[in-house]
Amino acid sequence: MKKYMIYMLSALSILSTSCKEDDHVVASDPVSPEIITDIQAENSFEIANANEHWDNVAWSDADYGLSLAVKYYVNLAVEDQSPITIAEVSRPEASTEVLSGTVNNAAIALGIAPGTTGELNIFVTSKVYNDKNDVVDGYELSSNAKPFNVTPYAYVSPVQTSDLAGVEEELLKENAKSEWATFSWELANYGLNVSYKYTVVAHAQVNGEEATADVKSVSGQASELTVTVEEVNRAVLALGIGADEAGQVSFTINAMVEGGEEDGIAYETLSSEASDAVSILPYLDMPMFGWKVGSRNGWDPGDQDSFRFYELEKGVYTGIHEFEAGENFKMFLPGKDWLGYAYFSGGADADFSEDGDGNLVYNGSSEVRKLVVDDNAQTIFFEEIESEDIYYKVGSENGWNDTSNPNYDQFKLYKRYDGVFEGTLDFVSGEEFKFVPEAGSWNGELSGATFPVKSPELSGDGNIEFNGSTGTYSMKMDIAAGILEVIAQ
């Protein structure tokens, strides 16, 4: 008996005695479904025929002694591995068409190398569902497995056709939004009509080790992608190439199935040959950063903007954000993801604990706090917010720097990294304001002249006037670059 068939024994043992479902007694000797299709013994697949019919797999009906809601699952397996489900149908259906590419790609995912012959086993399981479409535990039956041999075709990797001759070597911040290069390639092919995603990946040797960084991605069967100076600069910095040195960087085109798997089949990433290396000197746009992913942002790892922590020291990431009592999260740091409580073996703040899923749980009061994540020491602690971490927005809505005004503390921008401050603030159409670094003092005030580049909602060289609609906005102030931006929330 194949090892993967052991997975079904517990369910069968439960069914060896009478079971109850919806107050009805199920037969003490239920009959498992059995495959009635004659499976071809030898199967050699070609990628050109991936979407063609392989077989119509049919099976006998499972008999539980009652008319129950039953779903059938067609599975492929090899020894010592969990099976892959390639089809799902509901009773009274008792057959399903299977494509050649489905069997081929499942075989590769199960470890049978392209061009080699290996044994697959096909079997059908049945499960009982209640009126809420939930599986009823203990009612799973399995057919006997039918073995057959397969020789899979190989996937086709993308072929890079990019011409990087003449690309800009020294990257300049003032050209950040300009086109740097257009990458092109011949399409990859997994055989089946899957959801493709292509990524331009940068490569370099840094301190004797291979480093990689994603530049930009595009979904679908696109065959070219234009990247900007800003995008390639960010990737080159992520490789570990400093802003004061040129590095030799090559690029590959990686193809993958969106999400890594489709229809239960996991797919490997396919890579093109690397381009010739080009010399690139990046500019320092912003420090590297990590970010917080958790209950506050829907556990979305792609949300890198809501809760950033910037690398203000090598390996040390700092961020000032509002923390909510009871929120839970994990940390993402450059090259590392889903870092939970256990990762911080060097110590965690007393206001953190661990939940049953390994997440960090914040047990303090809801307030704005400064969190420091030290990846060198693997610690995560709160620190006091210092005066240099804050700029106050003072003006017509909070008494023009009058600290006794009850609204004074509601208009703060917090430090992200050197010279850059951000915050989420309420604005009233027509209000005027300036910025000060010290509450109640006009020393070091910043007026409109400090920011020659402003969002359309802002104007003025003295007092800054807000001309947009009343509402809540995120504000970013880059003092060195002279930029002041607002974005409606």
pLDDT tens across 415-462, in order?
999 889 999 999 999 999 999 999 999 999 999 989 888 888 999 989
Is residue 181 predicted with pLDDT exceeding 70?
A: yes
Nearby residues of 234 by Cβ (< 8 Å), 6 or more positions away: 285
SS3 18: coil
pTM above 0.75, yes or no: no
Dump pLDDT digits (tens) for 39-89. 999 999 999 999 999 999 999 999 888 778 999 999 999 988 899 999 999
Q: pLDDT value at position 409?
A: 84
Assign domain 3-151 to its CATH superfamily. Answer: Immunoglobulins (2.60.40.10)
pLDDT band at 393 (very low <50, low <70, confident <90, very high): very high
Task: Give yes or no for a contact between 272 and 159, defined as CB atoms under 8 angstroms apart.
Answer: yes
Same topology between domain 289-383 and domain 387-488: yes
Picking from 451, 480, 482, the residue whose alpha carbon sits closest to that of residue 465 is 451
Is residue 333 predicted with pLDDT exceeding 90?
A: yes
Q: pLDDT value at position 85?
A: 96
SS3 433: strand
Domain 387-488: assigned CATH number: 2.60.40.3620
CATH level 3 topology of 289-383: Immunoglobulin-like (2.60.40)
pLDDT band at 482 (very low <50, low <70, confident <90, very high): confident
Q: What is the mean pLDDT of the chain?
A: 90
Domain 159-280: assigned CATH number: 2.60.40
C-beta atoms surrounding 115 within 10 Å: 10
Q: pLDDT value at position 7?
A: 40
Is residue 14 predicted with pLDDT exceeding 70?
A: no
Dump pLDDT digits (tens) for 99-128. 999 999 999 999 999 999 999 999 999 999
Give the mean model confidence (pLDDT) for residues 217-230. 93
pLDDT band at 9 (very low <50, low <70, confident <90, very high): very low
Domain range summary for the chain, segments of one domain joined by +: 3-151, 159-280, 289-383, 387-488
Listed in order, strand segments (DSSP E) in 343-489 are 347-348, 352-354, 360-362, 367-374, 379-383, 390-395, 412-417, 420-427, 432-436, 453-454, 458-459, 464-466, 471-478, 483-488
